[in-house]
Amino acid sequence: MIALGLEGSANKLGVGLILHPSKGDAAQILSNIRHTFVSPPGEGFLPKDTAKHHRSWIIRLVKQAMKEAGLRVEDVHCICYTKGPGMGAPLQSVAVAARMLALLWGKKLVGVNHCVGHIEMGREITGAQNPVVLYVSGGNTQVIAYASQRYRIFGEALDIAVGNCLDRFARTLRISNDPAPGYNIEQLAKQGRHLVDLPYAVKGMDCSFSGILASVDILAAKLEANHGGWMDETTNEVITREDLCFSLQETVYAMLVEITERAMAHVGSSQVLIVGGVGSNERLQEMMGIMARDRRGSVFATDERFCIDNGIMIAHAGLLAYETGSTTALEDSTCTQRFRTDEVFVRWRE
């Protein structure tokens, strides 16, 4: 069976076509394309502008994806779209496109939870059987483990998501948003050497990032007032913007690895799967790898094609639901900004 997946819950518009061969065989990716709305340095992406971007690109992307896959309309079994969570206006734009295609082509619709899309695609690509999942992106920070037909949230961000913390600090430093603010912070952090003290906010299995952002923002303001560097009083080292990026990364990733390790210890799992845009960060992958090694476990991660929001994951998770008989009626094909991972009944897993 073949599914078309449409994703546009944030600033990436993704279209993917996936083929599920007969039972047991690995899924085949027929096409997976993405177009990203990039805002100028110092600014985030606003819902209105992002929705406009999605509306003006979606037809082109669908046409291109169909052409790339060499498919005709008859070959597609269902149309999957992101129901939520995400930003309202971009979600709506893509849902409208999904409904339009469903009516035009006479196909069934499948509304997909964005987080479940990430998890299922990660499992499919990496072959991880029953991992603890760390889902980290601009809008979400969750540690998830599967139990009794639900992806249960063990820990999550209590305020802003980790990616949002990084994105906003990139805005403070006026770093480019192209290709992604987090990527550019990562590059700067590679040149950082001195660790400055930032709050470390782990509460049980949850963490909080807003206080860290506020603290590092204050340090960035100090940096600007001192023309790009100041002397740390205790270590006598000059602190630069690279050091701030480095310290921010070291602190927030240590928190993420810590809560993931705690979830692993609690459920007795030795596998970790990292999904979501922040999951493409090499330092986070490296830290997670060291933690897993010391627990005699393994880390699974995907590259940017599958980590960062994409259409193929929506197609894949939607098709899993479709194969077990779940579809979304046209009148129910709404979208929602709030849609928790654990609300989805996972019919397709043991």
- Binding site residues, as ranges? 114, 118, 135-139, 167, 182, 186, 281, 309
Report yes or no: 132 and 272 within 8 Å, Cβ to Cβ: yes
- Distance separating alpha carbons of residues 37 and 20, to the nearest angstrom: 30
Query: Nearer Cβ to other proteins, position 52 or 152?
Result: 152
Identify the CA nearest to 146 among candidates 267, 313, 25, 282.
267
CB of 49 to other proteins, least distance (A): 23
Which residues make up each annotated binding site for a divalent metal cation?
Answer: 114, 118, 135, 309
> SS3 helix, strand, coil % of the chain, rounded to 5?
45, 20, 35
For the beta carbon of residue 290, count every other beta carbon within 10 angstroms: 11
Residue type, 14: G
Side chain identity, residue 280: S
Q: Which two tokens stand for residue 307?
A: 């980590």
**Residue 166's closest CA among 182, 187, 188?**
182
Question: Smallest gap, in angstroms, from Cβ of residue 208 to other proteins?
Answer: 11
In the complex, the residues that contact other proteins under the rule CB under 8 A are: 85, 125-128, 140, 145, 147-148, 152-154, 156-159, 161, 195, 197, 200, 202-206, 250-251, 254, 257-258, 261-262, 264-267, 285-296, 298-303, 338-340, 343
Nearer to other proteins, 8 or 131 (CB): 131
HSE, CB side, 13 Å, CA atoms: give it for residue 17.
Answer: 19
Of 16 and 155, which CB lies nearer to other proteins in the complex structure? 155
Residue 316's Cα: distance from chain center in Å? 16
C-beta of 124: minimal distance to other proteins in Å? 12
Of 107 and 316, nearer to other proteins (C-beta) is: 316
Instruction: Please give the Cα distance from 132 to 290 (Å, whole number).
Output: 16
Q: Would you say how long the chain is, in residues?
A: 350
Nearer CB in complex with other proteins: 57/154:
154
Return the number of the residue (178 or 282) whose C-beta is nearest other proteins.
282
Cβ–Cβ contacts within 10 Å for residue 163, how many? 26
CB of 188 to other proteins, least distance (A): 16
Binding-site residues for substrate: 135-139, 167, 182, 186, 281
Distance CA 108, CA 36 (A): 27
Least gap, CB of 243 to other proteins (angstroms):
12
Q: How far is the CB of 16 from other proteins (least distance, A)?
A: 19
